[in-house]
Amino acid sequence: MFEYSDNRFQIKPSTKKQIKSTSYDELLDYLRSAGEEKYRADQILHEIFINRATDFKQMTQLPKHLRNMLSDVFEITSIELEEKRVSADGSIKFLFSLADRQFIEAVYMPWANDDGEVERSTLCISTMSGCPVGCAFCATGTLGFKKNLTPSEIIDQIFIVERELGTKINNVVLMGMGEPLLNYDNVVRAISLLADEKTKVISRRKITLSTSGIAPRIRQLAHSPYPPKLAISLHATTNGTRNKIMPIAQSFDLSSLMDAVEYYYRQTKMKITYEYIPFDGINDTLEDAERLRKIAQRVPSRVNFIPFNDISFTKPQGISLELKPSPPQRVAQIAEYLRSHKIAVIVRDSFGRDIEAACGQLALSREQ
């Protein structure tokens, strides 16, 4: 909704609550105060998350008077699809705009079997517009922090991609723009709504939250209603190197991070994933391989080597200028060393090199 003031149109903040951000318990409270039956909360969630209603008028399971009451208090908002880029490798990058004209991205990645049929799909979604963490290898970090996404804006990315592609997303990875654990309440609420058996959008075991390592929040996440799988953006095996390429590491060193990861595993019994971008001469020595082995063997885990996406378009400075991808033979050597110690390793190809796939690249170019 817009209003005209200061000689321009401005977004007028709505006083209504976003229904897609509303928890089951909050719906129950509302229904109780409105003198309505409890089972209506299940019906409302069914209409929103299973029937994907975009208007209260479409909620035909509900009596008319309740639909009218709901529309007085709640609203069904949605982010907008701005652009869709399809890569030759099958991945698709989506650019969305929020109500306040901030931009966020999601990337769809299909995994095909030997016959070329898509066996499963992963959607990497954003939890913030921009990001305050400023990792030296990440384009999103150069945008700075813009805003935390609401649960509704996080969920919309899945809804819109499923609608656009006419397919169900099998895995969701919270690894797009933003540090999910710095938007803790909204992210946990979005996961709870998605994983709730009443909404049936996606199981918590098919949701992976990737963090740069906010140790106290990792411990807290272990006690959230639906703890997801945990991935750690590790990218270095010493505090010295990690501090240089990930400023957040100055607040949470490797020792406190590893303690939190072990705690998470002990509470949830789910394997941990370590994400590692090998940088030439920075974190790819045989000593790094040995330290990585020790880290990965602390609790059941696997290591994903991710290729470095070029960020020269961000006009990098300082340590970012020194980051170059490791030669493939060296990555293969480290991977082999870890495998020889029975550690599961995946050496990933980069998806969507031809469609500005670096995290934040499309949003940054749109802003510019």
124 is catalytic: no
Give dist(CA 135, CA 309) in Å, integer.
Answer: 13
The reply on whether position 141 binds ligand SF4 by CB under 6 A is yes
Contact 121, 107 (CB under 8 A): no
CB of 89 to ligand SF4, least distance (A): 22
The reply on whether position 307 binds ligand SF4 by CB under 6 A is no
Question: DSSP H helical segments within 34-173, as ranges?
Answer: 39-45, 64-73, 139-143, 151-165
CB of 175 to ligand SF4, least distance (A): 7
Q: Which residue has the tokens 């921009």?
A: 130
Give dist(CA 27, CA 39) in Å, integer.
Answer: 10
User: Of 19, 135, 207, 234, which one interacts with ligand SF4 (CB under 6 A)?
Assistant: 135
Q: Which stretch binds ligand SF4 (CB under 6 A): 28-36, 68-76, 152-160, 177-185?
A: 177-185
The reply on whether position 311 binds ligand SF4 by CB under 6 A is no
The reply on whether position 148 binds ligand SF4 by CB under 6 A is no
User: Of 138, 214, 270, 338, which one interacts with ligand SF4 (CB under 6 A)?
Assistant: 138
Considering only residues 188 to 227 of the shown chain, the ones binding ligand SF4 according to CB under 6 A are 212
135 is catalytic: no
Q: Which stretch binds ligand SF4 (CB under 6 A): 64-72, 130-138, 283-291, 304-312?
A: 130-138
CB of 290 to ligand SF4, least distance (A): 25
Which residues are within 8 A (CB) of 333 and not within 5 positions of it... i.e. 6 or more apart? 286, 289
Q: Which stretch binds ligand SF4 (CB under 6 A): 129-137, 294-302, 335-343, 348-356?
A: 129-137
- Measured from the CB atom, the residue of 129 and 268 that comes closer to ligand SF4 is 129
Which residues are within 8 A (CB) of 97 and not within 5 positions of it... i.e. 6 or more apart? 79, 80, 82, 103
Quick one: residue 270, left, alpha or beta (phi over 0 = left, psi -120 to 50 = alpha)?
Answer: beta
Considering only residues 231 to 270 of the shown chain, the ones binding ligand SF4 according to CB under 6 A are 233
Q: Which stretch binds ligand SF4 (CB under 6 A): 41-49, 95-103, 104-112, 171-179?
A: 171-179
Quick one: residue 166, left, alpha or beta (phi over 0 = left, psi -120 to 50 = alpha)?
Answer: left
- Measured from the CB atom, the residue of 79 and 246 that comes closer to ligand SF4 is 246
Beta bridge partners of 93: 85, 107
SS3 string of 244-311? HHCHHHHCCCHHHHHHHHHHHHHHHCCCEEEEECCECCCCCCHHHHHHHHHHHCCCCEEEEECCCCCC
Catalytic residue among 105, 153, 179, 275: 105
- Measured from the CB atom, the residue of 18 and 361 that comes closer to ligand SF4 is 361
The reply on whether position 228 binds ligand SF4 by CB under 6 A is no
The reply on whether position 180 binds ligand SF4 by CB under 6 A is no
- Measured from the CB atom, the residue of 135 and 292 that comes closer to ligand SF4 is 135
Which residues are within 8 A (CB) of 10 and not within 5 positions of it... i.e. 6 or more apart? 2, 3, 4
- Measured from the CB atom, the residue of 70 and 125 that comes closer to ligand SF4 is 125
Considering only residues 335 to 364 of the shown chain, the ones binding ligand SF4 according to CB under 6 A are 359
The reply on whether position 133 binds ligand SF4 by CB under 6 A is yes
Q: Read off the tokens for 83.
A: 């652009």
Give dist(CA 287, CA 76) in Å, integer.
Answer: 53
Q: Which stretch binds ligand SF4 (CB under 6 A): 57-65, 138-146, 186-194, 346-354?
A: 138-146
Catalytic residue among 124, 135, 138, 359: 359
For 141-177, b/e burial (b = at least 16 CB within 10 A) is: bbbebbebbbbbbbbbbbbbbbeebeeebbbbbbbbb
Contact 129, 102 (CB under 8 A): yes
The reply on whether position 309 binds ligand SF4 by CB under 6 A is no
Which residues would be at the binding site for ligand SF4 (CB under 6 A)?
Answer: 131, 133-135, 138, 140-141, 177-179, 212, 233, 359
Q: Name the residues annotated as catalytic.
A: 105, 359
